[in-house]
Amino acid sequence: MNRENRMSRKNRIRAAFVVASALATAATVSVGVSQAGGTKPPREPSKKQIAGLFDKWNAALRTGDPEKVADLYAKDAVLLPTVSNKIRTNHAEIVDYFEHFLQNKPVGKKVETIVNVLDTNSAIDTGVYEFTLTDPKTGAERVVEARYTYEYEKRGGKWLIVNHHSSVMPEG
């Protein structure tokens, strides 16, 4: 082997060593940052936590204040309500719906629920619920069974309803 080939070989080995060292250092730094104080990845909410959002909504209904109920919806939420044919797509329309619905003093209860956590900031709760409604004129109570879907998104650290569909059971 002549001197030129030996130098070329030495340079190739040295270059490979430098690259390997750089990669090893980068891996160590990367691991060190994530373990030593980098932010932890956000945790997905539990199914129980998402299912519990209904309880907050139901409690807002019991206040009788349509604004409190509407505040649980995102500004761009869509509401396909149980006892109205009109689709509600903004805060004012959602308030309007609940102004009328709350006159019946609704008390909701889930009958069946299925929760799908999509990621750390979104989930769907769907199933069947029933409402006891009281006629404001006669005081007579009736129970309405309906299917529902709530789509939730976490926005600004707060879980909001972005889509709510509720319809009376077709066979009920």
Tens digit of pLDDT per residue, the chain (172 long)? 554 554 455 555 554 444 444 444 444 444 434 444 567 777 899 999 999 999 999 999 999 999 999 999 999 999 999 989 999 999 999 999 999 999 999 999 999 999 999 999 999 999 999 999 999 999 999 999 999 999 999 999 999 999 999 999 988 5
Rounded CA-CA distance 125/135 in Å is 28
Rounded CA-CA distance 73/84 in Å is 18
- pLDDT computed for residue 10 by the predictor: 54
Strand partners, 142: 133
Q: Which residues lie below 8 Å from residue 93, measured CB to CB, with a gap of 6+?
A: 79, 86
Rg over alpha carbons for the chain, rounded to the nearest Å, is: 29
DSSP for 10-68 reads HHHHHHHHHHHHHHHHHHHHHHHHHHHTPPPPPPPPPHHHHHHHHHHHHHHHHHT-HHH
Q: Where are the beta strands (DSSP E) in the chain?
A: 73-80, 107-119, 122-134, 141-155, 158-168
Torsion angles phi and psi, residue 88, rounded to 5: -105, 125
Residue type, 19: V
| Start-to-end Cα distance in the chain | 93
**Residue 44's CB: how many other CB atoms inside 10 A?**
15
Query: Which tokens sit at 72?
Result: 């649980």
Query: What dotted CATH number matches 47-168?
Result: 3.10.450.50
Residue ranges per structural domain of the chain: 1-40, 47-168
CA distances from residue 41 to 32, 35, 37, 44, 127 in whole angstroms, order as listed: 16, 12, 12, 9, 30
